[in-house]
Amino acid sequence: MFYKNLLLIFVFMLFSNCTTTNLSNNKTKVTFKKNFTNKGFALIYNDNLNIDGTISKKIEERSLIIFQKNLKKNTQVKITNLLNNKSLIAIVGKKAEYPLFNNSVISKRIATELQLDISEAYIEIIAISENSLFIAKKAKTFEEEKNVANKVPVKAISINDLNTNKIDNKKVLINKFSYVIKIADFYFEDTASMMIKRIKDETNTQKPRIKKISNNQYRVYLGPFRNINSLQKSFNDINILEFDNIEIIKND
């Protein structure tokens, strides 16, 4: 009887181990890959910027090459002019040095095809190639950070044409300069508050804010800024913290 019970226990253990092994072998590991995206102001290349050292490398005028610090060479990117929604596909070139404020350096051809305003070259860059690689800086980050899609506001007014018998309602776009610097998005308000404290303790920026995006999303940001100079100064001030992916967002 003893040996019979021992045999039953042995068979049960063997069956359990086999079942566990099979389940383990049948598990599928799913990896979600999130492409790099960034909204900000591009710097349009010209030779003078290379001569005076603002940009460390050259870009051919007719090329579809851009410089982007966070992406590796040959990464394909979609570039969109966020003020008119025109877009094209470009390729990341060699590593180059350029001002921290700018999210990229683009060729004259890209600027022309996107009809960018030199004084407000506001673009979005999205990595679209399969081998794209986001190079994160070595800095303190929060796992709760998550990108949020942002809609670009478009304001319009109606104008009546008095020179014709028939009233023609024309839409005129008004692009008012107003931007915020998005530091990061967090799941918890307490974590966002910790980021606020860190910004105040470690930088000269004393007016960071928190905006509730949803019940589990809190954005830490600076602004709004009404001119490019104040925006650039605050952006450079916050860069001392070396965050991975600071974005500039058009304000509602």
Domain of 179, CATH number, reads: 3.30.70.1070
**Cis omega (within 30 of 0) for bond into 99:** no
pLDDT in tens, 22-52: 333 333 333 334 689 999 999 999 999 999 9
- Domain extent, residue 205, equals 155-250
**Would the pLDDT of 148 be above 80?**
no
Alpha helix ranges (H) inside 87-148: 108-113
Long-range contacts from 26-30, C-beta under 8 angstroms, 24+ separation? none
Q: Report if residue 187 sits inside a domain.
A: yes
The whole-number pLDDT of residue 206 equals 75
Q: Are residue 162 and residue 235 in the same domain, yes or no?
A: yes
Number of domains in the chain: 2
Q: Report if residue 133 sits inside a domain.
A: no
Q: Report if residue 231 sits inside a domain.
A: yes
Q: Report if residue 237 sits inside a domain.
A: yes
**Would the pLDDT of 109 be above 50?**
yes
Q: Report if residue 19 sits inside a domain.
A: no
The whole-number pLDDT of residue 175 equals 64
Q: Report if residue 57 sits inside a domain.
A: yes
Mean pLDDT of 102-114: 97
**Would the pLDDT of 10 be above 60?**
no
Q: Are residue 161 and residue 246 in the same domain, yes or no?
A: yes
Q: Are residue 92 and residue 164 in the same domain, yes or no?
A: no
Q: Are residue 244 and residue 160 in the same domain, yes or no?
A: yes
Ranking 67-81, 111-125, 154-168 by mean pLDDT, the lowest is 154-168
Q: Are residue 123 and residue 180 in the same domain, yes or no?
A: no
pLDDT band for position 134 (cuts 50, 70, 90): low
Single-letter amino acid code for the residue at 207: K
Task: Decide which of 83, 111, 127 is a domain's last residue.
Answer: 127
Alpha helix ranges (H) inside the chain: 2-26, 47-51, 108-113, 189-202, 228-238
Q: Are residue 120 and residue 174 in the same domain, yes or no?
A: no
Decide: pTM greater than 0.85.
Answer: no
Q: Are residue 121 and residue 186 in the same domain, yes or no?
A: no
Evaluate the CA torsion angle 135, 138, 143, 148 in order and state its sign. negative
Q: How many helices (H) and strands (E) does the chain have?
A: 5, 12
Structure tokens at 186: 């967090």
Q: Report if residue 241 sits inside a domain.
A: yes
pLDDT in tens, 180-229: 999 999 999 999 999 999 999 999 887 899 999 999 999 999 999 999 99
Q: Say which CATH number the domain at 85 has.
A: 2.40.40.10
Which DSSP state fits 121? -
Q: Are residue 244 and residue 197 in the same domain, yes or no?
A: yes
Mean pLDDT of 55-72: 95
Q: Report if residue 27 sits inside a domain.
A: no
